[in-house]
C-alpha cells in the first residue's frame, strides 16, 4: 500500500537558519503530495501541495518540489522564524490521504 516516510524529529534550529525536512513516498501511480502544518493546540492546516511531477508548491516562504525520479517531496525554507515552530506532516493521496509520522520543528531565537 501507499506509505510516507519523513524525517525523524525533533528538529531544533536557530532563527534565520535554513530548513529541510525530508519526505519520501511509495505509491502506485502519481498521487498528489501535500505538506500540512500543526501549530501548538491547533488542528492541521494545509501548507502547500503539488499535483504532478516537477510541480513546486509554495506558501509562507516554504517550498517543496514533486520529484518523481526520487519519489520525494522535501520541505525547504531559506530562513526560519520562531513562528514556524510546529509539527509538519507530509501526506499523499487521491481521495484519501496517507500521512507521515510528523516532524516537530522548534526554532529558538
Partner 1 sequence: DVKVTQSSRYLVKRTGEKVFLECVQDMDHENMFWYRQDPGLGLRLIYFSYDVKMKEKGDIPEGYSVSREKKERFSLILESASTNQTSMYLCASRGPGQGIDTQYFGPGTRLTVL
Residues forming contacts to partner 1 in the complex (CB under 8 A) are 4, 32, 34, 36, 41-46, 49, 51, 89, 91, 93-97, 99-102
Give whichever of 22 and 79 is closer to partner 1, judged by the CB atom: 22
- The residues, any chain, with a CB within 8 Å of residue 53's CB and separated by 6 or more, are 30, 66, 67, 68
Taking the complex as a whole, how short is the minimal distance between the CB of residue 62 and partner 1, in angstroms?
16
d(CA 69, CA 109): 37
Q: Which is nearer to partner 1, 3 or 79 (CB)?
A: 3
- Nine cell digits for residue 44: 492541521
| CB 38, min distance to partner 1, A | 8
Angle at 58 between CA 55 and CA 62, to 5 degrees: 130
Min separation Cβ 85 and partner 1, Å = 17
Amino acid at each position: 500500500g501507499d506509505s510516507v516516510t519523513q524525517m525523524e524529529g525533533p528538529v531544533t534550529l536557530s532563527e534565520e537558519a535554513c530548513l529541510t525536512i525530508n519526505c519520501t513516498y511509495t505509491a502506485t501511480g502519481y498521487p498528489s503530495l501535500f505538506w500540512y502544518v500543526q501549530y501548538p493546540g491547533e488542528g492541521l492546516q494545509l501548507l502547500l501541495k503539488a499535483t504532478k511531477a516537477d510541480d513546486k508548491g509554495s506558501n509562507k516562504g516554504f517550498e517543496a518540489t514533486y520529484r518523481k525520479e526520487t519519489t520525494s517531496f522535501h520541505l525547504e525554507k531559506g530562513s526560519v522564524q520562531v513562528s514556524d515552530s510546529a509539527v509538519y506532516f507530509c501526506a499523499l493521496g487521491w481521495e484519501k490521504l496517507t500521512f507521515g509520522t510528523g516532524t516537530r520543528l522548534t526554532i529558538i531565537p
